[in-house]
């Protein structure tokens, strides 16, 4: 727990503090009760977290005129999240993103996980952390409002080895920093790569223009191109002169429509990992900056992890209604998912996703909201 306490202190705010409110959120199909915890500061920023999926259901932030609006895509009730596994704002695990051919090895032993994104495994295998109803361990207001959620993933769940005890801590301070810290311990060597899968539209709730005119900056000179099944080829490709160069900031719209780039065609837009120049770091550093010029809202994503996955909502097809009955379509939201590179368990050159007994996993990230003038 010492690591959690240290991580939570990263987002300490002024003495007037923020509030935390716990409430009933509804029930799942089997009658299981789901709770909501709302963190709120004095400057119009609030975050609502559901125990189901340890989900960031809502993030509200003001524009340059001080008008607050919802900036994430989501659903109205826990039963909606249960019925539609579109990963909006959920905690992803045990392993975020894709594992090639749904298999990996640890110390010569092969493990097979579900092919829920055939031929690969995606976001934990279909019954991952987003499908669990987490336990509330701690809720507190003060200089930093926070909620701590816990979950045990048993040995063999979705094919992964080891009993895994997992903690997700959300914090909100007066500076508009929503911190998320993921920690896990195991009793057997395993693999872990956790992140949050929020999709953002800084223009505000159900904005008809979508998010493709947002300006995006990613401090990454390289990205990982993918094959036709969206598994990285192993190459770390220079972004210079390509639609993957976001180092100076630009709108997303031109890139997602560039049919000349085979990578855009494969991903149906952006669904790619960027190799952050900063690499793996001890404390969260900048991974991406997103700005909506019209409203002035700015989102900065900071992380300790070496990569960030840019996903432009390419598989939102208007068939599922989200919050308020709004039909989400391609480009309506942008995900910026800090994590280890996709398929890291099978590609040693990418580093390691291995977690061993006595050597806990930890990933600290921050969603920082502000306005440009």
Catalogue the active-site residues: 197, 337
| Greatest pairwise CA separation for the chain in angstroms | 58
Q: Under 8 Å CB-to-CB from 244, ≥6 apart: which residues?
A: 223, 237, 255, 263, 272, 274
Token pair for residue 211? 């998010």
Token pair for residue 22? 């716990």
Q: How far is CA 212 from the centre of its chain?
A: 19
Give the position of tokens 């039909």.
Answer: 327
Alpha-carbon Rg for the chain, nearest whole angstrom, is 19
Q: Under 8 Å CB-to-CB from 339, ≥6 apart: which residues?
A: 96, 97, 193, 194, 195, 273, 305, 307, 308, 309, 363
Q: Which runs of consecutive H residues, i.e. helices, occur in the chain? A: 2-8, 78-83, 253-256, 262-267
Q: List Cα–Cα distances, 267 to 24, 27, 148, in angstroms.
A: 39, 35, 35
CA distance 83 to 285: 35
User: How many C-beta atoms lie closer than 10 Å to residue 260's C-beta?
Assistant: 8
What is the phi-psi region of residue 213: left when phi exceeds 0, alpha when psi lies from -120 to 50, beta otherwise?
A: alpha
Q: Which of 270, 353, 343 is nearest to 120 (CA)?
A: 343
């Amino acid at each position: 727990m010492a690591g959690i306490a240290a991580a939570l202190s990263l987002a300490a705010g002024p003495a007037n503090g923020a509030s935390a409110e716990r409430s009933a959120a509804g029930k799942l199909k089997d009658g299981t009760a789901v709770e909501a915890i709302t963190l709120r500061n004095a400057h119009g920023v609030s975050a609502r977290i559901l125990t189901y999926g340890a989900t960031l259901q809502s993030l509200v932030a003001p524009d340059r005129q001080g008008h607050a609006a919802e900036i994430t895509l989501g659903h109205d009730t826990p039963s909606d999240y249960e019925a539609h596994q579109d990963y909006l704002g959920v905690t992803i695990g045990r392993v975020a993103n894709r594992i090639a051919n749904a298999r990996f090895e640890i110390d010569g032993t092969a493990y097979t996980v579900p092919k829920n994104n055939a031929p690969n495994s995606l976001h934990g295998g279909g019954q991952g952390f987003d499908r669990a109803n987490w336990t509330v361990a701690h809720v507190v207001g003060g200089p930093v409002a926070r909620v701590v959620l816990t979950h045990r993933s048993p040995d063999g769940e979705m094919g992964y080895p080891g009993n895994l005890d997992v903690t997700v801590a959300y914090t909100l301070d007066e500076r508009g920093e929503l911190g998320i810290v993921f920690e896990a311990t195991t009793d057997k060597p395993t693999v872990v790569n956790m992140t949050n899968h929020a999709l953002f539209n800084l223009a505000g709730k159900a904005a008809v223009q979508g998010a493709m005119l947002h300006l995006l900056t990613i401090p990454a000179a390289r990205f990982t191109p993918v094959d036709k099944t969206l598994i990285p080829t192993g190459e770390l490709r220079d972004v210079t002169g390509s639609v993957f160069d976001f180092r100076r900031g630009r709108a997303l719209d031109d890139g997602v429509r560039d049919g000349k780039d085979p990578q855009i065609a494969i991903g149906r837009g952006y669904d790619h990992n960027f190799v952050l120049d900063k690499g793996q770091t001890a404390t969260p550093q900048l991974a991406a900056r997103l700005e909506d010029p019209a409203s002035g809202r700015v989102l900065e994503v900071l992380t300790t992890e070496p990569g960030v996955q840019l996903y432009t909502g390419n598989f939102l097809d208007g068939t599922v209604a989200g919050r308020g009955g709004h039909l989400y379509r391609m480009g309506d939201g942008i995900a910026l998912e800090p994590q280890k590179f996709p398929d890291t368990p099978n590609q040693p050159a990418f580093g390691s996703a291995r977690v061993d007994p006595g050597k806990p996993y930890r990933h600290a990230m921050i969603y920082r909201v502000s306005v440009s003038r």
